Amino acid sequence: MTYLTTVLQAFFTDYVHAQRNLSANTVASYRDAWRLLIKHICATTATPADHIRLEDIDRSVVTGFLEHLATERENSAATRNGRLTAICAVFTHALPDHPEHAESLRQILAIPPAKTSKPQIGYLNEAESAALLAAPNLGSWVGRRDQAMLALVIHTGLRVSELITLTIPSIHVGTSPHVECEGKGRKHRAIPISTPLAEQMHRYLTERANRTGEALFPGPHGRALSRDAIERRLAIHLGTASTSCPSLRGKHITMHSLRHTTAMNLLHAGVDVSLIALWLGHEQTSTTDMYLQADMETKKNILDKTRHPEIEAGTYTPSPDVLTWLENL
């Protein structure tokens, strides 16, 4: 008899840290999935959490939990798939040590993910980026801090989690200016920054030296801004920027959209996808392929290269005279 507690402790205390070195966000996601599953089992079987055995969890239990997520909790297919990934990660780790439950575990691991629709990637074009960077009030410290923060993210493509962990020594504005960060999976990387941005960061760091704390972008008490606080600052500046750039009004923009903006800017500049993946800290280039699919500008350029020499370049527009157009078909 194998208690689930033993399996979870082996996974969360040794495997995720010592062997996989997973990020804190990934560990928290796995933890939350298992908390929900255990509570669901307790509620449906009246079994105390500490008495749940590995053999008590079979394919029907897991599929029932996934159905509970979809119907009662109204989770999206993506969230449901994330919970399934967390469940399968633990069982994949447990499988070699518990051959007596191999068949039951394999049936769980064979549960297919739900189909999801891929949302269109949200990013800012050049005019929208300029409007956003012009939105903060540079007459105040908070405005100058926010502009430096947004400019850094748009240029480097930092994740919010990476942005929060930046400290003053993370920025190097001397020879070969760059920013150092710790990404997903605690992977360290350095990202170069342009000369104009380095000059802006130098001015910002000079002013930042008069304030407490080590966080690069601090709040009122010197501690790093939280994820929610950063998103709120972005929303405020988007509201201001939308007055001069109306196209922003119909867009759902988050801090992660600014990361997408970096990728699209690099793609439009002709940078190879493998280098963009390295820049963004993607483990596999397949993750970066989504930018190719979303990049209509590149697709238009490819189409233009295949046109007949006698055909004028540009987007086709039909004749305003419908009768003339029909006659010429």
* Torsion of the alpha carbons at 135, 140, 141 and 144, rounded to the nearest 10: 30
Q: 159 an active-site residue?
A: yes
User: Which residue of the set 159, 178, 233, 237 is catalytic?
Assistant: 159
- Told to judge if 59 belongs to the known catalytic residues of this protein, a careful annotator would answer no
User: Which among 68, 98, 256, 268 is annotated as catalytic?
Assistant: 256
What phi and psi, each to the nearest 5 degrees, are found at residue 33?
A: -60, -45
CA distances (Å), 179 to each of 98, 209, 231, 284, 307, in order? 46, 18, 21, 22, 43
Local structure of 192: helix, strand or coil: strand
Q: Are 159 and 169 in contact (CB under 8 A)?
A: no
* Of residues 318, 319, 262, 272, the one with CA closest to residue 121: 262
- The single residue of 68, 184, 189, 268 carrying the catalytic annotation is 184
Catalytic site includes residue 291: yes
- Name the active-site residue from 80, 155, 259, 260: 259
Q: Round to whole Å and give the CA distance between 259 and 154.
A: 6
| 260 is a catalytic site residue | no
d(CA 98, CA 178): 48
Contact 188, 142 (CB under 8 A): no
Query: Sheet harboring 171-172: ordered strands across?
Result: 171-172, 178-182, 188-192
Q: What residues act catalytically?
A: 159, 184, 256, 259, 282, 291
